[in-house]
Every structure is written in structure tokens, then in C-alpha cells.
Amino acid sequence: MSGVEEGNALCFFINGKKVTSLHADPETMLLSFLRDQLRLTGTKYGCGGGGCGACTVMVSRYQPATKTILHFSANSCLLPVCQLHGAAVTTVEGVGSTKTRIHPVQERIAKAHGSQCGFCTPGMVMSMYTLLRNQPQPSMDDITQALAGNLCRCTGYRPIVDGCRTFCQEDTCCRANGKGGCCLDGSQTTDEPAQDTPRLFDEEEFLPLDPTQELIFPPELILMAEAVSQQTQTFHGERMTWVSPTSLEDLVQLKTKHPKAPLVMGNTNIGPEIKFKGVVHPVIISPIRVKQLFEVTQTPQGVWVGAGCSLSGVKSLLEKLVLQLSTEKTELFRALIQQLSNLGGQQIRNVATLGGNIVSAYPNSDLNPVLAAGNCKLRVISNGGTRDVPVNQDFFIGFGKTILKPEDIVVSVFIPLSRKGEFVRAFRQAPRKENALATVTTGMRVLFSEGSRLVQDLSLYYGGLGPATVGATKTCTAIIGRPWDEQTLSRAYDLLLEELPLPPSAPGGKVAFRRSLTLSLLFKFNLEILQKLRELGVISEDLPEEMQSGIHPLPRHIQPSLQEIQNVSEGQSDQDPVGRPIMHRSALSQATGEAIYCDDLPRIEGELFLVLVTSTRPHARIVELDVSEALQRPGVVDVITARDIPGKKVRTLSGYDEELLAEKEVSCVGQMVCAVVADTKAHAKRGAAAVKISYDDLPDPVFTVEEAIEKNSFFEPQRLIERGNVAEAFKSVDQVYEGEIRIGGQEHFYMETQSMVVVPAGEEAEFNVYISCQWPTYVQEAVAETLAIPSNRVTCHVKRVGGAFGGKVTKTGILACITSVAAWKTNRAVRCVLERGEDMLITGARHPVVGRYKVGFMNDGRIVAADTQYYANAGNTVDESVLVTEKILLHLDNAYNIPNLRGRAAACRTNLPSNTAFRGFGVPQSVTVVESMVNDVAMVLGRPADQIREINMYRGSSLTHYKFEFDPENLLRCWDECKAKSDYDARRRNVDQFNQQNQWKKRGMSIIPIKYGIAFSEGFLNQAGALVHIYKDGSVLVSHGGAEMGQGIHTKVQQVASRELRIPSSKIYISETSTNIVPNTCPSAASFGTDANGMAVKNACQTLYQRLEPIRQQNPEGSWESWVSAAFFKKISLSATGFYRGPDLHMDWDRMEGQPYAYFTYGVCCSEVELDCLTGDYRTVRTDIMVDIGRSINPSVDVGQIEGAFIQGLGLFTMEELTFSPSGILYSRGPSQYKVPSICDVPLQFNVYLLPDSHNPHAIYSSKGIGEPVLFLGSSVFFAIKDAVAVARSESGLVGPFSLDSPSTPERACLACVTPFTQKIPPSKPGSFKPWALNIL
């Protein structure tokens, strides 16, 4: 083998600067290289598996063959640094900076209010930046495709799209913001908004995009790429060796010598195996520089595509060929393009290769069924020579296995041209419309005898129906030689079910759904073929119009949306920022990557990294904890166990103790047992893997609500609330109905995982805790109690939080305690940053709830009595579960005045990870049960659900079921305004007409209200403190107790200080939230952060302003700076504390009455969906949200909170699904298994209106809390889907109430439609098999 050198130097460029590494480790990914070695922390860790886009960078390579430069986005978490030799990498820091010049992409995302917590923003910037480097004037399709691989948990995506839309040439006809529609759409108005209509941003202020200002590609890399004598490169790491040959001959020799060595190009398969499964490959071969693997050759029969071509490259190639060749020759090409458009995100497609995708042989591969159906073949080379291998039924022999030998190398893939009379189609169904592995995927090809419907050849291949891609050869054989007609296809469905069995315990679950998809996707193919035969004149019958809906795609184009906000008060000073749409104060820093998050803090000398060891059993005694092997591992310094804790070993909540580290017994998989500290994260992980725990399993673990009820396993107290006489009322009603709905849990999926650094100060047991949390004081107290030191020795610092949603309170405190013990024991700084899978396993989620109800009502729709029982799956510890059940009961009326109402709620103690607070704190689950009950009443009576809702709403001065008096006027106004703004009645008629004309697509609508109580029912939690300093130069430093986690509390507080001190916001700074500045703070939660902290800051600023009054009177024409200077010389204090006592709220559960809330925030949401009954896929066509938030302090922040909460609610109610194994192991531990909404899930038209002329005397400046209430309104999509399903069911003769649990995933929606295809699936007998997953719903 020629030119092999040991330990070559790695050379590449980052942001225009040359980087040379002499000791590149094959296990080092670009992300850790950027963050740890170069201190470029703008690129974020979000999941580590290429599923979230937070780590996106741009990679540029010179192509010697074409003398062009290729720019592409990539996930740096999967990009081995060894692979970057000769590449130029651009990170968010290289795009622009607030210190030099911000880039238009950064500016527009920030000023369009597309950055809230900001953790995802650098990734969004880089995806959009890369697109603009390739296409300076992109289309909206280009933009949505470029952003499809990036997740955001805060914004709801709309403002990000609006900011990026300003680059879009096709949309210059209409403004992206402030109007209802596009001038190209005749159904929308293009009237100019009134001059005084406030807008969220003005795009005319944006910097123009100037491509000439971008970084140039380094000339040195061009010379390197064109060098003739390139050598094989070798890089040696701690455990692996990386070899990168330059010729096919060298590659064959290497693979012969190391047959088990994987070939790595995109690292999208091998990378996650190494990272998540602990696989070690002593040798890795990277053939990225072997030119033969990238060659493309056209022949009269088809095209040979190099196996090393990226999926993006293959898609571009096929798109060019489709334009060049006749339509009949490109059937297979077009089917592949369709699949490639949905396969992964753009970042994955840019690096994943065609050959790698094929030989990975995933059972639900999108490409393999199409390649197999299309008679493609592989050119394979080994030491024994070259051969062609067909991709067919025999090629795939098991999970991840093919007939290829270990030493075989796929050089190229042949994709044939289609023949006359040949048609190829691809279909897929996935949990999310884009960037999701398919549930079932297909490739189907049929060849007809010329001019006839006689089937000459047929191929049907499926993915997702077993361990490998499967072909339906028997079914095909039965059809070949027969005419393509109803009789033939009817027989084919039965044969297909027979030929492709799927046992009820099959991995992946969803068995009935997957089996039904085999039939419904064949039916879609049938409809497509019938339409083609009609177009070609082979058959004369037209495909009935209502049947055509089976093949019409769901709508997908995002329309400009409307955000209708309030004007500021007449006469308000231009300098007063309150009520104006001010950009998030950190948005620009977040967009440039300069904003500092917890794990961005520089490493401290001697710092250690902590990795947790968790239980692998759901309920067991710990027999032995053996850490001896772990302590022998390189870099491991110590192992922390419960015995090391010097102080309190538990945290106590609701009267129950939760162990910091399990000592004698574990009660769930994922319970923390010990922690390993080492010099690096990699060493700590390997040390943790070496810890051995012996268990003695305890009998009968409890997982489900039903098991908890059976075994009376509850956390006390169980709560009851009642008004009226429910039992008597049931005797006097016209009708009684009983129902049940199950609402699944929800993972927080904050983009920044749990992160903390604990630093011993070096004297008198003092510790600094830098942490991402919602309640710094709780962490301070917890750490102090754990270390048995006073709270004054612990300072907790929170700069900003990359999303929290309730998930960074209790478990964060426990994690901080464990980390502090490690810092105390080693006397060194210790960092703990959970990986995404660890975070999802350990920290719990939203409570799954089972709601059972009995409702009594009159024939005119009035609900007279309701009796509801809620069971929340709390998990293994109490956490905040009892408090959640209380809030569930306090909202069981929602917007309805039900005179006789009873609710009971219990927190079930189970052997699953403990569930915790989540945005809404039980209210979404509570009110979903109520709204389901109202829906059922409407269905029993055969009346529209909105009528039943209107009939039963609170009116006039009202009392809740806990005897709290309130005025529902603004609730009713929201309802009426939402119906008017959404044009509900006319669109309802249009929906009915659509449903009559379409058999396989159905539309549904719903309009849903919310009445949400604001503040903590425990009155002491409503207090807040602040400290405001004025410095001699006139600058102001504000500190308060609220944590900035994307909700804009610092921005609003800055506006408050600006108004009260009568100075510009630019003079005011907020640095961090710290317990040594403002003590004894309360959590940033309950949508009360601005209400409380804003009032405290207002109090402090008023004190200071009054102190300056004598100075102003002496010099009324003076400047702010002159007044401050004069005050200093007159010895007037320029520092003041502020305090807000908060409302004295309470709830007496014995008397079942109280005032647990300060006021209510009201909202109403109307959503319309279009549902594909054959697959369960849906699109939200339009959403209109009307919200009463009083007088908004910052409309841009509040609209962002509304949109983000709605999309998070849409995820809860339609797609996010936690799955557990029968032994209680969480399956869904990352974005590849757990799907949160992405840009493809945003309503195509997404309108938000703030109720005008609303006032709230109970909060600062008449505003209202808005963080949580709107999340429940995401259920409007759930109820719209249920509405569409009801129409589909009625066509099968099924009318009246039916069960549809939440989330209404495609599986549940499709099966609920009861199509002819779902009816063909024989039900599995419960108890006759062990299911793949528990039914935790």
C-alpha cells in the first residue's frame, strides 16, 4: 500500500483561520473540538445524534473536477474532526458578531423575534446562512427545506419563518408581517393596513444581503485539493485508528486487511452507534477521498451513481436528469426524489451517502424498497474482483444485514431508466411529516403490456414490516398476467395481509396500524395507476372525484400570517417602551453565538466532569455496588455514592422523601445510584459504564394507572372538590353519558439539557453554583442542606436558561446536590451536563392522565351535572404530583358554569421515572377531559360542539366551583371575536362541502376556550425582590429574582425600569439572577414571573426616582447623567431594593373553597385540519388565536409566548409520545424516537390576535401572565382531527361518541377512521402476547 504515514497532521480552516492538529482523535467530533479546544461555544450541543440542528455549521469543500466550491450544512455533533482535512468550516461566530458586523441572517431572525431562549438560534442561523450562500434569493420551499432539520421548542417557528421570508424573492408582493394573506391568492385581502396599525417589525430597516462580504474559500485549500500526490492519512486516538486512503486500490487492500472495520463517510450510522451504544471499532476506514466513489456515469439504460455521493447530491442529480429526459423514462427517478426529500433533515442528507444508506439495511429504510422495486443493482469490489449485485428480496437478510461480505465495498449504484408502460411510486408514513424515520415505507413498480391494463411485471417492497426490507413476491405473482382492476386488487389485499404477517409483539409496536398501511398504501398506488391508465387512454372510466382525494397531497405551503397587536395608549411618550414590540434584549447575542449558557463557561483548571450511573431495574434491592473497575479506568478520579453525602441525603416534597442517590433500593429504571467524576467527559462515561450493580428484583412492579388503582398505590392526599348536589342532579337530567379519555405524557425537550458547574471557592466551605434552572434559591438551599453548610456559603448564578418549561426545578436541584458533593469531596470544580438520552430518562415528564367522567345534560344542551375522576401517573417519587392534581381540580370547570360539579384526583405511585412540573401544570390534561366531555354531549345530541360550548359558558358575575368570584366578559369577547376573525360559520360550511366531495381526505374544525388561573395558590410563592443600582455615569444595573429562560422576563423588566426611571432602555442592563444579590426568591413559574418581579423592580425604581426629585427640581433642564452625578455628591443613595408582597392566595381543601388565583387569562382558538384517512397524516390548515392578556407590556414577546405555547400544545395533543418497554425502560430517549413539532407542523396560516381594550387591575401595567395558558389551545387541533375522524366514521355507518386518546397520532387517527383497510386487520387478543411497549396513556 503506497504512501502510508503514521500520525499525519490534520489541516483545515475554521472561520478563515488555519487549524492544524497533530494528534487528532478519531472519536473527536467537530462539535467538541469547536467548544472544548477552540472555545467557539456558539455551536450548541442539543442531542448529539444529528436530530435537532443546534450544532449546525457550514462545511465548504473545493471540487477539483469542476473547480467549484461546495457549501453544505452539517451536524457538527456527527462530523468526525479527522474527516475535515482540506475543508473550510464556518460557525456562527464566523458569520457575524455584535463586536464587528452582524450578518443579515442574524439580524432578521433576531429582529423578527425568532429567538426566545436562543439555544437553537445559532443552528437556525447556520442553516439559513448556508442556503443563502448557495441561493441568495431562495423560494419559501427552499427555506422550509433548509430549516426542516432544526428544532425549536420556544417560538412556534412562525417568527423564524417570517424573518427568513424577507430573503425570499417570490414574497415581495406581500408583507410577511401585519397582513392576512398574499396578493397572489384571490381569497385573501391585500388592503394596506392602516397607518397606525402597530407591527411587530419593519423589514425596511433590515441590512441588505451582500454576498460579496462573505468569507472567501482559503486559496491554500484549493492548492491542497489540486495536489497530484495525495497520501493515505492515518490518525491514532486513544482507542481507535482512522485511515483515509486516496485510491480504490488502497481502499480494497485496507478492507481486506480489516474486514470488520466500518467505512465511514457521513457518520450518520456508525457515529450514533459509537456514541449511544458504546461500540468500539479499533480501525475506521474513511474513503471520502477515493474519487471513484463519487463518479457518475450515464448509459442508455440508466445512470451509475457513486456510492459515496451524498443523498443531497443524488437528489440534485436526479432532479437534473428529470428535466433532461422524457417523463416516461424518469418514473423511478421521481419516486426516489420524493423519498429523498423527506429522508432526514438537510444536514443529514448533505453528509449521508447513497451506498451507506443502502448497506445500513435499516428495516424502515426509505430508499431500499424503491431501489429494490426499481430493479437497481450495486457494483461491488473486493480483493476477489468486481461484481454486480441486484438489490432485491434476497439482498436483505436481517436487521442491518445484507448478503455482502465484510470485505465487500459498494462502488456505485445503478438506477435504471423506466420503460414505456412502467410506473413507479413511493409512499411513506412517518410520525412527523419531515425529518422522521418512517413507520411504513414502500416502493411499488408495475409494467403493463403496451396499450393494455394487463400486468406484465410487478414489484411491491415494504419497509417497516419486519427486521428488513421485504418484497411481496406471492402477491405480485398472483397479479402478474391479470388485468389491473378492482377484482385483481381486491384479491391482492387479502394476499398481502397473508404474505406480510406482523406478530402483535413486533418491535416498534403499532402493529394494527402498520398492517393497515400495507393495504392503504397499495390502494393509493392503485388510484395513481388508474389515473395514469385513464390519462393514457387505456381505460375510459374517470377516477371518481371523491376518490381522487386518496392521492391528492395534503396542503403544505406556509402562508403569511397575521399578528394583530394593541396600540400603545394615546399620548404615551415615544421614549416609554412599555406596550411596544421590543426585540428580546439578548436576541442579537443569541443569533451571533455570543450569548453565554451554562456549559459555555470556560473550563476551570483541574475541573472534573460528572456522569451519573442509573438503575437498570424498575423495582429491586441493591445487593452490591462495585466501583472498583470504574476507579481503575483512565482519568477517573472518584465515584460518588450516598455514603459520601455529608449532610441531608434526601429532598422532601409533600411530606415524602426522595433520595439523592439510591442506597438500598431502586424504584424505577433511571433512578440515580452513583456518579463518576473524571478528567474528561469521555473518561467519566467509560468509568460509569464500568460500575457494576447487583440487584435482587422485587415482585410486581407497578407501571400503569390501572395497576396502581388495583394495588391502591397512591401518593396522599387524594383531593376532592364538589359544588351542588351531583347525585341528586343526575336524577333530574334528560340524558346521562359516561366516557373516558387518556392523555399521554410529554417530554420537556428543552434545547439545553440539564447543565451545571459547581466551584469550591477555596475557603470556609463556600461554593459557587452556575446552573441552568428556574429557581436559584431552591438550588441554593438544597446544596446547603446536602453539604451541611449555611445557605450564605452557597451562591447560585443563572445567566440564562436554554428552555425549561417546568422541568428545571426539582430534578435540577437534586442534580446540583450530587454535583456539589463531588465538588466538596474532590475540592475541585465539577461540571455536569446531561446528554439528551440521560436527561429524558432521569428528569421525568408531564403526567399522563386518565380522565373518567359521567355527565348529565338536558336535550337542549345544558350540562346540569358532571362527575370526573382524574388519575395522574406520578412515577416513583411524589415530586410536585400532588400539587398538579390540585391544579387539575381547580380547572375542571374550564369556561363552563356547571351547577353540579364533582372532581376527584389521585397521583398514582408507579415504578416509572418520577414525573414533574410542565408548562400548564396539569391544566392541559384537566381541561382536555372537560372538553372531551362537552364534545361527547354534542355528539350524543347530534349538535355542533361549538353550540354546546356556548350554551354552557359562564355569563355575568360568576362563581367558580371553589367559590371565587369573577367576571367572564372578556372570555365571551374572546369567543365572539375568535369566531368572527376566523370566519367560523362560513368556513364550517366550506368544510362540510369539502367532506361531501372527498372520500379519503376529511377536514375538521374546532373552536376551544381556556380560562386559566394565574399565580401560585400557595400565597408565599407570589413575593419577589429586586435590587437596582444607578452608577455615576448614569448607567443602571437591575437585578431581580426571575430566571430568563426565553420568556422575555429580562426584556420586560428592562421596559419597566425604563418607564419608571424615564430613561432609555439602552442605559439599563441586567446581568444575571444570583442568590447573593436578590435573596429568597421564588420560582420563575406559574406565568407569574413578570407580575411579581416586574412589580419589585417598579418599587425599587420608584424609590430611586423619588430620591432624585429634589435634584430634578433644582435643575429641571438637566440631563439624567447630571442628576445622578449631583445626587452622588449630595450623598443620596443611588441603590435601592424593591419588594412585592404578592396577593394572599389560598385554597382550603377541607371546605373546598378559596382564592387560589389572582386573576384569569382567557383565550379562544379555532383550528382547521385536513386529514388523510388512509394514513392518519394531517395538516393544520389554519389556526386563529384570540387571547386576553390585558395590556401587553411587550406584544412581540407575548405573541411569541402564545405561538410557542400553542405549538408545544399541538405536540402534546397530536404527536409527542413517550414509550416504555414492558419492564419500564424508556424507549424514546432522543429526537430520533421522540418527535416534537418541527417547521412542517406549523399551521399553514397562523393568526394571533390580542384582545383590544382589555384591562387587568391585578397585575403590573394592567398586563396578564401568558406563558402557560395557550398551551392547552393546541388541543383545538386534536378536536379538529376528532371532528374529521367523526365524518369518516359516519361514512362507515358509525355515529355518536367514540374514543380517541391523546396524542391523536397518525396511528390513532387512522384506526379511529375505521376505513375498509383497517377493518381487514384481525384484532390481537389481549393477554395472548407480550406487547412491545406498555400502554402508559
List, by residue number, the catalytic residues.
1268
> Taking the CA atoms of the chain, what radius of gyration do you get in angstroms?
31
Cα distance between residue 119 and residue 102, in whole Å: 18
Could you count the other beta carbons within 10 Å of the beta carbon of residue 38? 15
d(CA 1118, CA 359): 77
Residue type, position 195, single letter: Q
**Half-sphere exposure (Cβ direction) of 1028: Cα atoms closer than 13 Å:** 30
Q: What angle, rounded to 10 degrees, do the helices at 810-826 and 776-787 form?
A: 40
From the list 327, 123, 101, 323, the residue with the least C-alpha distance to 215 is 101
H/E segment holding residue 666? strand 665-666
Rounded distance between C-alpha atoms, residue 1161 and residue 115, angstroms: 24
Contact between 421 and 402 (Cβ < 8 Å): no
508 alpha carbon, distance to own chain's centre:
21
Nearest Cα to Cα of residue 1108 among 1139, 1134, 1137 = 1134
CA dihedral over 1198, 1199, 1200, 1201, signed as positive or negative: positive
Asked if 1101 contacts 1057 with a C-beta cutoff of 8 angstroms, the reply is yes
Rounded distance, CA 179 to CA 175, Å? Answer: 7
Whether residue 1306 is preceded by a cis peptide bond, meaning omega within 30 degrees of 0, is no
Nearest to 1245 by CA among 162, 40, 151, 142: 162
Residues 6+ apart with CB under 8 A from 489: 479, 522, 523, 526
Q: What cell does 340 get?
A: 429523498
What's phi and psi for 1210, nearest 5 deg?
-60, -40
How many Å apart are CA 708 and CA 712, to the nearest integer?
6
Rounded Cα distance between 341 and 318, Å, is 12
Task: Pick the closest to residue 525 from 1170, 1321, 1171, 1174 (CA basis).
Answer: 1174
The H or E element containing residue 852 is strand 849-857
The answer to whether 120 touches 52, Cβ cutoff 8 Å, is yes
CB neighbour class for 664 (10 Å; exposed up to 12, middle 13-18, buried from 19):
exposed
Q: How far apart are CA 515 and CA 61, in angstroms?
A: 45
Q: Which three cell numbers stand for residue 671?
A: 433512578
Cβ atoms of residues 839 and 880 within 8 Å: no
With 0-12 CB in 10 A as exposed, 13-18 as middle and 19+ as buried, what is 185? middle
Contact between 476 and 488 (Cβ < 8 Å): no
Q: What are the CA-CA distances from residue 192 to residues 175, 255, 894, 978, 1089 (Å)?
A: 10, 67, 38, 22, 37
**Residue 19 to residue 33: CA distance in whole angstroms:** 11
Instruction: Provide the Cα torsion 87, 91, 97, 100; round to 10°.
Output: -10
Among residues 752, 848, 881, the alpha carbon closest in space to that of 1219 is found at: 848
